[in-house]
Amino acid sequence: MTKKSFVTTALSIMALVSACSSDKPPKPEFDESSIETSVMTRTNEPVNIIHPRTSTDEKLVELGKKLYFEPRLSRSGFISCNSCHNLSIGGSDNLKTSIGHKWQKGPINAPTVLNSSMNIAQFWNGRAKDLKEQAAEQIANPGEMAYPHELAVAGLQTIPGYRKDFRDVFGSDRINIEKISKAIAAFEETQVTPNSRFDNWLKGDDNALTKEELEGYKLFKTSGCTTCHNGESLGGNSYRKMGLVEPYKTPNPAKGVETITGKVTDRFIFKVPTLRNVQLTYPYFHDGEAQTLGQAVEIMGRIQLGRTFSPQENAQIVAFLKTLTGDQPKIVLPILPPSADDTPRHNPFE
Amino acid sequence: MTKKSFVTTALSIMALVSACSSDKPPKPEFDESSIETSVMTRTNEPVNIIHPRTSTDEKLVELGKKLYFEPRLSRSGFISCNSCHNLSIGGSDNLKTSIGHKWQKGPINAPTVLNSSMNIAQFWNGRAKDLKEQAAEQIANPGEMAYPHELAVAGLQTIPGYRKDFRDVFGSDRINIEKISKAIAAFEETQVTPNSRFDNWLKGDDNALTKEELEGYKLFKTSGCTTCHNGESLGGNSYRKMGLVEPYKTPNPAKGVETITGKVTDRFIFKVPTLRNVQLTYPYFHDGEAQTLGQAVEIMGRIQLGRTFSPQENAQIVAFLKTLTGDQPKIVLPILPPSADDTPRHNPFE
């Protein structure tokens, strides 16, 4: 496949996906003051410096943090957002596919929550337009948290501490799923990982990368990886077919965007995942079948670019990818308000 | 049952339990400087002020915190100590009995980790002499984290970040279960909750309690509750029979200390739970059958003391119990070191 036909294919794929508007502005505000203005800043790269996001509504974010760690948003009383998007381990769960209510096997690899606000849409097939929609779906999804919204809301409504929090944030203690998911999304939007070694290099620090890492980045660009993995997030901003050059074989039945549009031409089209913190977010791909970065690079080269990297080239790209680990968010574990006597108790075994 | 025969029974029960040495010193050091020396301090009470514990080995505690939040210590890669002893919700899971590997139903209610270093032994039946022994058992228990020690250790041993941590703490990067459980225990020993309103009252602040709460405390003493629920932790320092005056009926098959000693006379003898933070640690009793504090007080009065509290008395005692919620530990969520290429991957569904 020539480069031109690759780009044409990619563009037509993007046109098929309604959520894929490239001019969509990033939702959270970022802190302008943190942008370094070194004369050496490398601005002519396909990868951009990532900047921390600050929120103008700290109370909303703090409430969202509580809800993110809140197991009472699940039917079992055991699973929270953080169970599968664990902020101790890169915002994912490091499992091939996640564990849902009653230990159900999830259908797809859990994407990281880190930097996820920069995605053009949420989920591998983009079926949620934003983090708010994503959070709401996860709570009710029978294979995940499995708690119908009306029950989740009614439970929180009985908890005095939450009534106070919602009143403080929204001016009314009337809880609903829109407010819950808005708060969770606001917290998630702050989960950004700046100051990776690669960002330091972009900012002009020539010593931030080793020779091997820099070679890896050059190869990453010249091989075409940046066609899809570009921008602040090195991904998350387009949809592409898994298996452009060579069909991808997987035991996972996920069909990608086809599930949303019903079009066979959308089969195996997935949102391109971010490569930020990719060292932490193993295993890789929508099916979690690539266990190591080396495997992921080998497969991507072969099926997306028609290229076989030598062991040395593979190692160089892997070395570069490991420079994308940024500052992990510093989270003070929230203390959740206790249930009241009339709060429904959870029975995970019923 | 007279008070004298109650005490005699209690003493003989205690004699049966080897781990129950009342002269055992608290393991963690507490910060002497934090002891307030107000002339008004109430020292003549059966309940004592609880003091924060500091550790002399911060690196050990920090490593222990990582391991406490480490899902790779479970066979599934999903369950950590914090899953069932969740520090966002009072160090327990607020479930009747816990969820183990593959969603197994646990046999007994998860006791809180908060202030647990003050217990004379660990588990409801005291089968672990300390937190170190407890942590090690939980990891390997097939109904809980279900990970044989040799596999858990071998997994961590492959992780460069942990090898560094263990070398920094123990002088060698050779990981074993003793070091793992020692670190977890060291972290847990710092999980102490001082400065409850009741502690403030004990320190001499007459305004710390309402009239109702103070009435509740007086009733708590005069009714005999403090026979078992006394000391810094209001419990945790003795074993008693559940159902001293009236047999306790429960669908839960746990037999208490009998399981350890094999003696029928030890049936239904359990370690007395702490009442610190009891508002957060619902549901109550070893079987988790009491869902509210009001129910727990009613049942305790009836089956342990042969007493029926009036609704007003019950409410007073409950009001007092809610003053026992102390400062919850401020935990900065640890960032766990990533697995290496040769770290065994977890498959929770195999």
Tens of pLDDT, residue by residue over B53-99, are 888 899 999 999 999 999 999 999 999 999 999 999 999 999 999 99
- Residue owning tokens 């990067």: B173
Cβ pair B332:A331 closer than 8 A: yes
Closest CA to A258 of A167, A125, A114, A151: A125
Task: Give chain A positions within 8 Å (CB) of B63.
Answer: none
Contact between residue A113 and residue A304 where contact means Cβ atoms under 8 Å apart: no
Q: What is the pLDDT of residues B268-305, one digit of tens each?
A: 999 999 999 999 999 999 999 999 999 999 999 999 99
- Residue owning tokens 């070679």: A215
Contact between residue A90 and residue A115 where contact means Cβ atoms under 8 Å apart: no
pLDDT band at B12 (very low <50, low <70, confident <90, very high): very low
Given a cut of 90, whether residue A188 has pLDDT beyond it is yes
B93 lies within 8 A of chain A by CB: yes
Kindly tell me the burial class for residue B64, based on how many C-beta atoms sit within 10 Å of its own C-beta (0-12, 13-18, 19 or more): buried
Residue B233: CB partners within 8 Å, gap ≥ 6? B50, B115, B118, B119, B274, B275, B276
Looking at chain A, which residue has its C-alpha nearest residue B337? Answer: A89
pLDDT band at A146 (very low <50, low <70, confident <90, very high): very high
Residue A238 tokens read as 């387009």
Given a cut of 90, whether residue A20 has pLDDT beyond it is no
Task: Give chain A positions within 8 Å (CB) of B78.
Answer: 83, 93, 95, 99
Task: Give chain B positions within 8 Å (CB) of A76.
Answer: 99
Contact between residue A323 and residue A197 where contact means Cβ atoms under 8 Å apart: yes
Residue B232, number of CB atoms within 10 A of its CB: 21
Q: What angle do CA B92, B98, B99 make, to 5 degrees?
A: 125
B90 lies within 8 A of chain A by CB: yes
| Gap between the Cα atoms of B80 and B97, Å rounded | 16
Given a cut of 80, whether residue B345 has pLDDT beyond it is yes
Contact between residue B80 and residue B188 where contact means Cβ atoms under 8 Å apart: no
Residue B252, number of CB atoms within 10 A of its CB: 16
Given a cut of 80, whether residue B7 has pLDDT beyond it is no
| Gap between the Cα atoms of A301 and A345, Å rounded | 51
Q: Higher confidence at residue B3 or residue A307?
A: A307
A331 lies within 8 A of chain B by CB: yes
Q: Collapsing DSSP states into helix, strand and coil, what is residue B305? A: helix
Q: What is the pLDDT of residues A193-237, one digit of tens each?
A: 999 999 999 999 999 999 999 999 999 999 999 999 999 999 999
**Is cis: bond before B160, omega within 30 of 0?**
no
B102 lies within 8 A of chain A by CB: yes
Given a cut of 80, whether residue B28 has pLDDT beyond it is no
Q: Higher confidence at residue A187 or residue B8?
A: A187
Q: What is the pLDDT of residues A61-71, one digit of tens each?
A: 999 999 999 99
Residues A258-275: what's their mean pLDDT? 97
Q: Which of A62, A144, A215, A289 is catalytic?
A: A144
Closest CA to B107 of B307, B250, B238: B250
Given a cut of 80, whether residue B249 has pLDDT beyond it is yes
Residue A26: CB partners within 8 Å, gap ≥ 6? A117, A118, A232
A155 lies within 8 A of chain B by CB: no
Per-window interface: A 274-303 vs B, CB < 8 A: 279-280, 282-283, 291-294
Percent residues over pLDDT 90 in chain B = 87
Q: Report how many helices (DSSP H) and strands (DSSP E) chain B contains, helices first.
A: 12, 4
Given a cut of 70, whether residue B171 has pLDDT beyond it is yes
Given a cut of 90, whether residue A33 has pLDDT beyond it is no
pLDDT band at A55 (very low <50, low <70, confident <90, very high): confident
pLDDT number for residue B10: 41
pLDDT band at A30 (very low <50, low <70, confident <90, very high): low
pLDDT number for residue B20: 36
pLDDT number for residue B40: 82
Q: What is the pLDDT of residues A280-329, one digit of tens each?
A: 999 999 999 999 999 999 999 999 999 999 999 999 999 999 999 999 99
Q: What is the pLDDT of residues B256-272, one digit of tens each?
A: 999 999 999 999 999 99
pLDDT number for residue A56: 86
Nearest C-alpha of chain A: how many angstroms from B345?
8
Q: In chain A, helix, strand, coil percent, each to 5?
A: 40, 5, 55
Given a cut of 90, whether residue B31 has pLDDT beyond it is no
Given a cut of 90, whether residue A153 has pLDDT beyond it is yes
Given a cut of 50, whether residue A24 has pLDDT beyond it is no
